[in-house]
Amino acid sequence: MRIGQGPSLVIVHGSVASGDNWLTVAKILADRFTCLVMDRRGYGRSGNSLGYAIEREYEDIEAVLASAGNQASLLGHSYGAICALGAATRARVTHLVLYEPPLPVQGSVAGGALGDYKKLVEMGDSDGALALGLTKFAGVTPEQIQALRRSPLWPKMVALAPSWTREVEVIDRLGPSLNRYRDLQVPTLLLSGTHSVKYPLQDATEALAATLKNVQISRLEGQGHTAHSLAPTLVAERIATFLLAQ
Mean pLDDT of residues grouped by 10 in the chain (246 residues)?
Answer: 96 94 97 96 67 90 92 96 97 97 94 93 96 88 86 90 92 95 97 93 96 96 91 97 91
Predicted confidence at residue 49, as pLDDT, reads 62
Name the DSSP letter for residue 103. Answer: -
Predicted confidence at residue 51, as pLDDT, reads 73
CB 100 within 8 A of CB 201: yes
Compute φ and ψ for 36, nearest 5 degrees.
-105, 100
Predicted confidence at residue 48, as pLDDT, reads 64
Predicted confidence at residue 153, as pLDDT, reads 86
β-bridge mates for residue 96, sequence order: 74, 188
Predicted confidence at residue 246, as pLDDT, reads 67
pTM over 0.85: yes
Predicted confidence at residue 47, as pLDDT, reads 63
pLDDT of 60-94, one tens digit each? 999 999 999 878 999 999 999 999 999 999 999 99
Predicted confidence at residue 44, as pLDDT, reads 64
Domain ranges of the chain: 2-106+176-245, 113-162
Q: How far apart are CA 182 and CA 2, in angstroms?
A: 31
Write down the CATH number for the domain with range 2-106+176-245.
Answer: 3.40.50.1820
